[in-house]
């Protein structure tokens, strides 16, 4: 699932390529992901529009157009965006293709068909938009404490849901817990002030470092997801980079959690 660092790199990669370009034509190959909130018809309303930039809010990429409209894409589990020449082979499950005035294409592919491609005149109309928490880099430590307070559950889940803080998903929530040396299944209510502060610092450093790494590793290949540099996520069975203990792996309802039981002791359950 693309999270804040992945989406920042996609935004950086697409922004100079799309800004100022006009959409010559829109090809909706598979309409399941398309959500037209304008009532004007997705392809019809987009044709002739010019991209004004590329932005990100939480896990949503925003493509404001030089009109009142915004294209908003939530990649969910497997959505990918690619800027490509028409001759480049299309990825499987390409759902939408925007033909651009520079004779290139913006493509949205999604192996799971779970993402959403909105066209709207009002981003508040996007489901979940108004409940989204602040951006991690906009939060002060006090603000972070305040945002966590209403959420009482397991800390990794709290970080993931987007209401306390936006843009963090399963992989980076796991990384943040590891960097803070906090067990991912600890209840938020069990965390001390000091532990919350560690979590806050870890959130900023993990996300900042990941953006820097991905900028090098992904660059303009915006359809690629690179995760092999993460410390614990996806590293079950390998040695912990801090202490050498074998990294634990738990999968609940398809959701992978990795942690080091030596570096991150405790938790409600013992493994
Ligand atoms: Zn360890």
Residue ranges with strand state E in the chain: 23-28, 34-36, 55-57, 60-64, 70-74, 79-84, 94-100, 105-110, 116-120, 248-252, 255-259
Q: What is the pLDDT of residue 269?
A: 54
**Ligand 1 center to residue 271 CA distance, Å?**
14
Cα of 199 to ligand 1 centre, how many Å? 17
Residues labelled catalytic: 2-3, 59, 255
How many angstroms does the Cα of residue 95 sit away from the middle of ligand 1? 42
Read off the pLDDT of residues 234-265 as tens digits, 9 standing for 90 and up.
999 999 999 999 999 999 888 999 999 999 99
Q: What is the pLDDT of residues 4-38, one digit of tens each?
A: 999 999 999 999 999 999 999 999 999 999 999 99
pTM above 0.75, yes or no: yes
> What pLDDT is attached to residue 268?
57
Give residue 270's pLDDT band: very low, low, confident or very high (50, 70, 90). very low
pLDDT one-digit tens code per residue, 189-218: 999 999 999 999 999 999 999 999 999 999
β-strand pairing of 34-36 with 116-120: parallel
Q: Could you report the per-residue pLDDT of 101-127, keeping only the tens digit for each?
A: 999 999 999 999 999 999 999 999 999
Whats the size of the chain, residue-wise? 271
Tally of CB atoms within 10 A around 42: 20
């Amino acid at each position: 699932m693309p999270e804040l660092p992945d989406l920042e790199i996609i935004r950086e990669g697409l922004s100079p390529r799309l800004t100022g370009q006009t959409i010559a034509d829109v090809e909706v190959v598979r309409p399941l992901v398309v959500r037209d909130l304008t009532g004007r018809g997705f392809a019809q309303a987009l044709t002739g529009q010019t991209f004004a930039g590329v932005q990100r809010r939480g896990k949503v990429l925003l493509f404001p157009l030089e009109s009142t409209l915004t294209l908003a894409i939530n990649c969910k589990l497997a959505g990918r965006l690619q800027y490509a020449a028409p001759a480049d082979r299309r990825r499987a499950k390409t759902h939408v293709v925007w033909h651009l005035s520079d004779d290139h294409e913006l493509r949205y592919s999604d192996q799971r068909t779970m993402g959403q491609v909105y066209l709207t005149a009002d981003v508040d109309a996007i489901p979940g938009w108004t409940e989204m928490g602040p951006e991690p880099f906009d939060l002060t430590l006090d603000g972070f404490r305040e945002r966590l307070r209403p959420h009482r559950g397991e800390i990794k889940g709290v970080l993931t849901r987007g209401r306390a803080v936006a843009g963090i998903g399963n992989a980076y929530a796991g990384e943040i817990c590891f960097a803070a040396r906090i067990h991912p299944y600890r209840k938020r209510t069990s965390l001390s002030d000091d532990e919350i502060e560690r979590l806050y610092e870890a959130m900023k450093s993990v996300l900042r470092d990941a953006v820097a790494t991905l900028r090098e590793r992904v660059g303009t290949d915006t359809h690629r997801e690179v995760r092999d540099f993460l410390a614990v996520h996806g590293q079950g069975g390998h040695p912990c980079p801090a202490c050498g203990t074998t990294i634990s792996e738990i999968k609940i309802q398809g959701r992978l959690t990795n942690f080091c039981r030596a570096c991150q002791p405790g938790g409600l359950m013992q493994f």
